[in-house]
Structure 1
Amino acid sequence: MKATIAAIGQFVGQEVLIEGWLWNKRSSGKIQFLQLRDGTGFIQGVVVKSEVSPEVFALCDRLSQESSIRVKGVVRADERAPSGFELTVSDVELVALAEEYPISPKEHGVDFLMDHRHLWIRSPRQRAILKIRAEIIKAMRQFLDGNGFVQVDPPILTPSSCEGTTTLFHTKYFDDDAYLTQSGQLYMEAAAMALGRVYSFGPTFRAEKSKTRRHLIEFWMIEPEMAYCTHEENMALQEAFVQHIVRHVLETCQMELKTIDRDTKPLERVVEGPFPRITYDEAIRLLQEMGHEIQWGDDFGAPHETDLTKRFDRPLFIEKFPTAIKAFYMQPDPERPEVILGADLLAPEGYGEIIGGSQRIHDPELLKKRFEEHHLGEAYDWYMDLRRYGTVPHSGFGIGLERTIAWICGLDHVRETIPFPRLLNRLYP
């Protein structure tokens, strides 16, 4: 009976067939221990010389790392095994003998591992991270689909920037200029006016010449947008969203979290209660008390965000940033127009911003004024139409998938959060 390693517990006492690869092996003379993987997990197969044919035992002796094999054996429970089960092997069929594998248990440099990323992702740690990534995506979709959101796919090629920045990848679009998208938000605002609650999920691109552990050139964003939604309602939804994601990972990825040695206590606190909230004014005061040379009107950098999150054991909302340092479409606070009705959500443990969100400007006259201040031309005329024809208060946010994964997994660098990272000096493989 064919089985996967992930489901092996259903077949205790039965003979199964596993189709996979040899991850590692060791021998004690008359017994060989095969570390098998099949993509769903890892398990040890025990080959006893007296219980298999001489040909099978000889084959096991010459198997190389990552050779593809079909293995038959009886499943037995074993508390000492990481998965709780082992396989008493009765037969092994060689599919393909692998050449000498370039990645060994010894230490390798980061550049070497990145050059061999296509092979590195087979390792237990990298496989666990990619499995957690998949579960995080599943949780995000579950929450949004279950709360009345409709997925809408914005274009990847756009005629202009979303936020008026210069960090754009330029390309020719026949006789016109085009850019790889930085965000689908403006298009989601249009979709929200048609469908009420919407979200996009797709790749975005930032041509930032940054080498920090938090930056990728190509990354994935989830961007919900909601008609008739206030700033306060927006933050409440973000909190419930993040709690749902973390709760789902804790329920479905215990084995993977153990594989990457993630301390789950900080994650458990995330789902226990409300997230703390402070204003930008309060954040500036806290930073100044901590010795940072920062003034009202300055934006936060990574050191500022890291120190702020050390004061709290859960994700932290910082709201009402100065209007001057935020995007043109963000709604000013009617009671204090120099700040916006928006917030950043900072992950704890020093991981920094994972969500940026705000209420959007819905007044056509105010948006027209912003257009003039930012020198936005005809490329944005369709965006102004959203205020001309049935404008309503609306809000939304964007959450970076890879930064969220880095925080939940407790990783030092976002390069491990995506199968094939695109970095400042890396476009291979």
Structure 2
Amino acid sequence: MTDAPTERRQDAVESARRSVAAVWRIESARIVATLTRTVGDFGLAEDLAQEALADALAQWPATGIPANPGAWLTTVAKRRAIDGWRRRERYDDRLAAIARDLEAEETRAADVAAELPWDPDRIDDDVLRLVFVSCHPVLAREARVALTLRVVGGLSSEEIARAFLVPTSTVQQRIVRAKKTLAAAKVPFAVPERSEFGARLGDVLGVLYLAFNEGHAASAGDEWMRPELCREALRLGRVLAELVPHESEVHGLVALMELTAARFPARLDTNGDPILLADQDRRRWDRNAVVRGRAALERADSIGRGRGAYSLQAAIAECHAVAASVDDTDWDRIVLLYEALGRLAPSPVVELNRAAAVAMAAGPAAALAIVDGLVADGRLDGYRLLPATRAELLARLGRNAEASTEFAAAARLTGNDRARKILLERAATLTADPG
């Protein structure tokens, strides 16, 4: 039987663990960004922050959670940096500067803690630098995603691994390799020059878009969606929008994610199987997310630079969000928006999506001609949504035997167990009724 003091200690340890996890999720970007500016080494900064987390787990159960836990972790990490330099006898100008900086920060933190509550929503300019470092083009795409979700989003290696269905060791290796690559390339801890800002910002937005899409429709595993990954991408998008408020495409991406996420409450049935857009109960859509998404799109438009690829996709999502039903949707406008998107950012995937809209606006025969052109083109070979879309169009035309074959082909191309099950069920149903 466990005695009362032991239970209290266990409760204190568990409370500290939850607090450390919450603080890291909220404050990790600011902590690592501040440390990177201080020590001049991105990899070292993240290691110091992790060591500070370990200290918090050891000390907070006994001392209690500090008034400003983010500042506490930053201070402990800086002291570890000083201790490391002292052991290596590096008494140079950097050490003197960090010591002065630390003393001033501790005084300032004490004053703030006495007067103001901890504000987890405060955003430093250093966070913006951290975002650009994490998404530097010198890194491979997978490394950018892992590093951004780890040090900017605050996710653990285990959480990232679960989100992308890869071993934790793979995520850890990507992060370690990314740090070494950044150090070898001597990537500065700075926002890029204005002349290269656009391209670099595109890399950042691309990482967030990729993470959101993976959560929206999981490419593998037995779950149709991974909402936690979408929430994290959306949170980072909101942070970025406040850091660079005059960049219209940032607001466009936030709008797209908000309007898409608004449909999440109605996308799955009680068994976790997907509910198609036409069958969703729109009363369950998150209307607050719709309002936020439309506001973000208006903010993007107000900047006056015209709509980019993310804003155009957000406008398409808005058409769905404001429609009372599938039949009430302005499909002609959606087709026009996809045509504009195709001219701005040509892609066979955009063309496939346009075909789906054409099917609703002009009928399945017109859409099938577009899809058959994509099949002949060959660039979407191996992309499961191509045969899946063709199958839907064939089924609407009453060509059930052909549609069944296409659904089976789509099932062979998907790594998601739940999607494969749905596709095979559709194939079997059409086989039983060949039309």
Which has a greater percent of strand? 1
Which has a greater percent of helix? 2
- Give the TM-score band, short-chain normalised: under 0.3
Structure with the larger RCO, 1 or 2 (CA within 8 Å, 6+ apart)? 1
Q: TM-score, normalised by structure 1?
A: 0.27
